[in-house]
Structure 1
Amino acid sequence: MDRRCRERQAMLRTVHSEDLSSTVRLDYCRDRLEEHAHEAGRGVAAGRGGGRGRGKALRTLLKRNYVDVNVLYDIGHDELEWHSRTVANFGHSGLWSLEYKRELTSPLCIAAAQGYTECLRYLLEHGARPNLTAGGKSALHEACENGNHDCTELLLEHGASPSLLSEDGYTPLHLCKTPQSLRCAKILVRHGAMVDVSSEDEGETPLHVAARHGLRHHAQLYLRYGAEVNARSASGETVLGAACAGAQGPQGPADQNNEGDESDEDVYLELCRVLLAYGANIDTVDDERRTPLHWAARNVQRPLVELLLEHGADINSLDYNGGTPLSSALQNAVMKPQMQPHLVVQTLLNHGSIKMWPLALLKVLTACAAAPKTVEILFNSYTQIIVTYKWLDAIPEEIVQEHQAFYESLFALECKPRGLQHLCRSALRKHFGKRCHLLVPRLPIPKSLQRYLLLEPEGILC
């Protein structure tokens, strides 16, 4: 054995977890582990056999090299890195930068993160400390973050704390962010994990995290174990608000955060139903005075908007910028055309939303010009609006050409009164007010006449 090898073995024997400033590089030990895994029957393949091969390789490595099971590994590096500099990122040439990246881990954390249950069991049985925090997270944090439920249960059985805070102030439950982590969450609460611990910076509970990621089954689990459904984060956001803010759009069943075959839209809708059934306050505002309805309208989630309105959400609540849910929907009409924003605007107006000030309609028209159906719905909500040449000047020519039929009908109304049909519709809507959406389902009104009560697209304006 050469001198260099003897020095490395001596270093491995003397470094202990209590000495946090002393670490060893992982590269050498990884090479040794792979070497011994190959010798142990070539069992480092995927599957169960691979797990046994790694476990045998680990035992061989520890026995031959006397490695402390609680040793901390430095998986950072201290080397020159090439950083390109171009005109796009403020420079014209490249340079070599000497950067030291320090990141600590331990054998226990590696095994838990990778799901190597047999390695984890061997380490724990030979004195590995389950609550040792390496690089800011314990092995239990790593297991939950990666959805390794077998490792989670094994660690808890060997004394891991189910509510231990990481360096960033998160409990293991905070890191259960995917559907695959549900079994980890169930194991944690069964071992006494506290469901209402707030993270240090954001002040979010695990229920906030589950709501933001659309994890309905996680939320139901926490609520059954007594989680506070109206808990507020450091920014004043409620769990219901987090769910409505997290509903960004239709990602489809292929999205990794979706549960089963449900679409993104369905996941958040059902999640909000659960929260409301447990007594979620529907109009609690955050520090910006935004309600859950503001977020649902901003994300153009029509079913979610309808659900909140059915439960009595304040349709004309104002945030700190003076914005209503209707203005939140209009701001995103062009950004999310696939979400049919005109239907959200229609729903809000039919439920009694305050309309835009007529003189501000030109500004709204400019912002929503590329969404003509939304413009039509909004325009038809007024009995009479004066169309002027300024409207034509405010809309880009390419947008006018793309939606030529609509804008020709709109600009044809310049200095002209609306048709008698539109005036009759406006009179009926004004008489029934926000009750229009309630009258249509209850009365046997033909579909051809429902448009006189509910605000709907009328095709070419008249």
Structure 2
Amino acid sequence: MSNSDYLPDYPLNSDLVKRLKSALDAKDEERVGDLICTEVTPVDAVIELANDDWMKDPSAQLPPGMLLGDLEHLKPLMDQFFQDANVVFEINKDEMEWQVKSPATFGLSGLWTLEYKRELTTPLCIAAAHGHAACVRYLLGRGADPDAPGGRGALHEACLGHTACARLLLQHRADPDLLSAEGLAPLHLCRTVASLGCAQALLEHGASVQRVGGKGRDTPLHVAAQRGLDEHARLYLDRGAYVDARNGCGETALSVACGAARRPDEHGRCLRLCALLLRHGAEADARDEDERSPLHKACGHASHSLARLLLRHGADAGALDYGGASPLARVLQTAACALQAAPQRTVQALFNHGSPTVWPDAFPKVLKTCASAPAVLEVLFNSYPQLCVSESWKELIPEEVFQMHKPFYQSLFALAHTPRCLQHLCRCALRRLFGKRCFDLIPLLPLPKPLQNYVLLEPQGVLH
């Protein structure tokens, strides 16, 4: 269970809780057992304890049967102290957090206030969260309610990746669409590769694949896209998930997938995910509330493989967001911080699919921003038939950067007051003729492969 407005049967200031806390503080196990076994009613009673209870205080005797999955330790513990399998304990107290009040009352953004948070839990939730299937089975056999009120349930906890626990709870009629206090269904908690079995079990028991949840109004497909879970996405799409469903920010799953930051080892899985979404009809140029397309977001991470995939599916290389930024502007903003991603490949892909180049007067600004990425500057400079080079540009380049990439910068400033070579002008003429279809048509020309690459703006390290 988590943050909730659920009222406990025994609140913190009740006489029973005060006596129970006193017994807990004194480590009087006999008195604790007597209170719980003889005075706590009904069977589903919710007890509110402060953060110095046996679930929080490191010096207290924690129930290892619950935390470690030791069923032999759990059975006598339940028999001696916690005969009600649904007893609820609070594990966090007096922790402040920002919460939003009703937008209906306070406008679109609501009213944010700093309030105390209450955290409730049950033995069943703890066992499910740690993947202790034997403990879950035992507690359910003792009558534990799989949908005990108060917020995040045992099924939510199991969906962190414990398939056996999830199936046990579902077999005992846990609600597959139970919403937590944050408005999340169990499917929204299937956020890891290990949770695929949990997602399959939920859908087998009738979970809705279209359900939106949380502040972001995400569907399970959005969650899978955010986490780069291609197999989860395949499962949801096969079960009828709407591929272009929008979340609270107007994003589709494809947009979410393209905007998420990835570790290098996750790029392949993300590419497979996006290809899967596009094969299922995802709109390659879908805009969010800021008019940003998936291509804007892919370029913001300098992901050239993803950018090429989107461009091949019809993404607009010249699209502008509400701020007037194009995908090219996004990758140029990122280039210096993403050298390991080879941002010149993304710039090259954009130009080969018809992206407008940077306004010539803005080139010095790009030079200053991307000085440490000369390959990006080379591709950009070669997108112009002719650009007047100024000696004053040298002041924009840090000396150590100039020395590190000396051959390129020497070739750049050698073009001051000098026309470009005829070969470059012929390249520009061909590119102007083919326009947005450069990527498709230039490889069809009867030219040697190195010359085709030259026309496609392949960086060479120097300018001519």
Question: TM-score, normalised on structure 2?
Answer: 0.83
> Where does residue 140 of structure 2 map in the other structure?
124
- Paired with 1:101 and 1:288, the residues of 2 have a C-alpha distance of 33
User: Which residue number corresponds to residue 96 of structure 1?
Assistant: none
Identify if the C-alpha distance between structure 1 residues 3 and 205 changes in structure 2 by more than 3 Å, giving closer, same or farther: closer
Among 205, 208, 221, the alignment partner of 2:235 is 221
> In structure 1, how many angstroms separate the alpha carbons of the residues matched to 2:346 and 2:457?
12
Q: Which amino acid aligns with 1:10?
A: D
How far apart are the structure 1 equivalents of 2:238 and 2:210? 12
Within a 5 Å distance, the mapping from 1:87-126 to structure 2 comes to 103-126=119-142
Q: Is 1:181 aligned to 2:195, yes or no?
A: yes
Cα offset, 1:441, TM superposition: 2.9
Whole-Å separation in 1 of the counterparts to 2:421 and 2:228: 46
Contact 1:26–1:74, Cα closer than 8 Å, also in 2: no
Match of residue 268 from structure 2: 266
The alpha carbon displacement at 1:168 in A equals 0.8
Task: Tell me which residue corresponds to 2:385.
Answer: 383
| Pairing partner for 1:158 from 172, 177, 186 | 172
In 2: Cα distance, 1:285 partner to 1:304 partner: 17
- Runs of 4+ displaced beyond 4 Å: 15-21, 27-30
Does residue 9 of structure 1 match 2:23? Answer: no
Higher relative CO (Cα under 8 Å, sequence separation at least 6) belongs to 2
Question: Per-residue CA shift, 1:6-53, capped at 9, x if unaligned?
Answer: 43223333346755463372348972634xx6xxxxxx9x9xxx75xx
Partner residue in 1 for 2:208: 194
Aligned residues: 415
- Structure 1: 5+ residue stretches without partners: 38-43, 80-99, 253-263
Partner of 2:158: 143
> What whole-Å deviation, never above 9, does each CA across 1:186-215 have from its counterpart, x for those lacking one?
000000000111113101100000011111
The alignment partner of 1:104 has SS state of strand
Q: What's the Cα RMSD here?
A: 2.6
Asked whether 1:22 is paired with 2:48, we answer yes
Structure 1 residue corresponding to 2:348, chosen from 317, 337, 346: 346
Trace 1:293-304 onto structure 2 (pairs within 5 A).
Answer: 293-304=295-306
More displaced 10-residue stretch of structure 1: 395-404 or 164-173: 395-404
d(CA) in 2 for partners of 1:126, 1:63: 10
Offset of 1:219 from its aligned partner? Answer: 0.7
Rounded to whole Å, the distance in 2 between the matches of 1:64 and 1:102 is 28
* Offset at residue 340 of structure 1 (A): 0.5
Secondary structure at the counterpart of residue 7 of structure 1: helix
Distance 1:175 1:76, change over 3 A: same
Q: Distance in 2 between matches of 1:127 and 1:394?
A: 73
- Evaluate the alpha carbon distance shift between residue 181 and residue 63 of structure 1 in structure 2; reply closer, same or farther with a 3 A threshold: same
Is contact 1:32–1:61 with CA below 8 Å preserved after alignment? no
Partner residue in 1 for 2:87: 71
Q: Which amino acid aligns with 2:172?
A: H
Aligned-residue sequence identity (percent) comes to 47
Gaps of 5+ in 2: 1-22, 96-115
Query: What is the distance in 2 between the residues matched to 1:126 and 1:185?
Result: 26
With structure 1 as the length reference, what TM-score do the two structures score? 0.84
Residue 452 to residue 154, structure 1, CA distance change in 2 (3 Å)? closer
The offset of 1:249, in angstroms, is: 4.2
> CA deviation digits over 1:302-348, x for unaligned, max 9?
12111111111111111011111111111111111111000110111
Map of 2:63 onto structure 1: 33
Task: Check whether the contact 1:383–1:422 (CA below 8 A) recurs between aligned residues.
Answer: yes
Tell me what 1:242 maps to: 256
